[in-house]
């Protein structure tokens, strides 16, 4: 049976049985299965059930993510995650730019690139050029003082791996960040762009090839094939326009806190929940989630 999941901000668990009954009305909904009291609940619905955009928007305004998934296995053995504004709450390049004195300019370019208004590779090169002569040690300062993990991220990775899964961090950002953050979060591998450095300072160049949307798709195909799996066995998550092809190819592709143009490009959207929402979407209940201390 298809599964309808209701999710909300787990720090404000306001879902009620009345919400579940309303969402399932006219859809042949079965009894609710509470995955997290007040924060995540799922019900089986009859085949052929659909969700129109107006209905999703109505629930969004009420602070609820409504997700419909088809019949079949929902647990994915491979997790493929974006980094900036996904596994962490910041855009690393914007934080570097703040130290270079071009923060507002770079942040404006980042926002347009993530919304799909600019070519990703061209926008990346333009922004990196503005970082020329920035001391590389600033990366350590940014990691220490400005980068915070997205809530639920450690639990998502730990639970995936505890159930025999494989987790890869694939970012359009930079290896100087993914190397540290992949280790901190427990990812099995990481891929990102390499900043060119000379005499301890950024040159304003990216070492080719650029990790953009095509590279993310290639990573998804390669990692799943290496494990003897298919793209349908992958749970992918991201927030930017460069993530959309990856999200569409994955068995479950989640647009997390994404801009409207990105969210509407994929079926599964999480605007109010945190990264534990990706576990609830796979049917994990709180008692099954591994939460690193």
Q: Nearest CA to 235 among 245, 250, 214?
A: 250
> Which pTM does this prediction carry?
0.96
Superfamily of domain covering 75-293: HAD superfamily/HAD-like (3.40.50.1000)
Residues 6+ apart with CB under 8 A from 194: 174, 175, 206, 207
At 219 the pLDDT is 98
At 293 the pLDDT is 82
Task: Assign domain 1-72 to its CATH architecture.
Answer: 2-Layer Sandwich (3.30)
At 109 the pLDDT is 94
Judged by phi (left if over 0) then psi (alpha if -120 to 50, else beta), residue 205 lies in beta
Q: What are phi and psi of 130, to 5 degrees?
A: -75, -10
Domain ranges in the chain are 1-72, 75-293
Give CA separation, 21 vs 32, 52, 72, 156, 181, in Å: 9, 18, 23, 28, 41
Q: Nearest CA to 146 among 87, 204, 88, 82?
A: 88
Would you please indicate which residues are annotated as catalytic (active-site) residues?
Answer: 82, 84
| Ranges of the chain whose pLDDT falls below 50 | none
For 271-288, the pLDDT digits (tens) are 999 999 999 999 999 999
At 259 the pLDDT is 87
Q: Nearest CA to 155 among 16, 20, 40?
A: 40
For 144-186, the pLDDT digits (tens) are 999 999 999 999 999 999 999 999 999 999 999 999 999 999 9
At 200 the pLDDT is 97
At 60 the pLDDT is 95
């Amino acid at each position: 049976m298809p599964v309808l999941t209701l999710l909300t901000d787990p720090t404000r668990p306001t879902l009620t049985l009345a919400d579940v009954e309303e969402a399932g009305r006219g859809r042949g909904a079965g009894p609710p299965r509470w995955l997290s009291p007040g924060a995540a609940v799922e019900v089986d619905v009859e085949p052929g059930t659909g969700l129109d955009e107006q209905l999703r928007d109505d629930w969004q305004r009420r602070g609820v993510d409504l997700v419909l998934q088809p019949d079949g296995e929902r647990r994915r053995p491979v997790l493929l995650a974006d980094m900036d504004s996904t596994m962490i709450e910041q855009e690393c390049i914007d934080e570097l730019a703040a130290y270079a004195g071009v923060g507002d300019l770079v942040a404006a370019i980042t926002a347009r690139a993530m919304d799909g208004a600019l070519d990703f590779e061209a926008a990346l090169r333009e922004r990196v050029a503005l970082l020329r002569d920035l001391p590389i040690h600033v990366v350590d300062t940014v990691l220490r003082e400005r980068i915070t993990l997205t809530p639920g991220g450690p639990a998502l990775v730990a639970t995936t791996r505890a159930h025999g899964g494989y987790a890869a961090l694939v970012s359009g950002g930079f290896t100087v960040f993914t190397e540290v953050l992949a280790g901190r979060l427990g990812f099995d591998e990481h891929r990102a762009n390499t900043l060119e450095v000379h005499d301890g300072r950024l040159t304003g160049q990216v070492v080719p090839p650029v990790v953009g949307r095509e590279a993310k798709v290639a990573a998804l195909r390669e990692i799943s094939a290496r494990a003897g799996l298919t793209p349908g066995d992958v749970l992918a998550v991201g927030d930017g326009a460069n993530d959309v092809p990856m999200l569409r190819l994955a068995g479950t592709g989640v647009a997390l806190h994404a801009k409207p143009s990105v969210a509407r490009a994929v079926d599964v959207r999480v605007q109010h929940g945190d990264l534990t929402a990706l576990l609830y979407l796979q049917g994990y209940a709180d008692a099954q989630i591994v939460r690193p201390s």
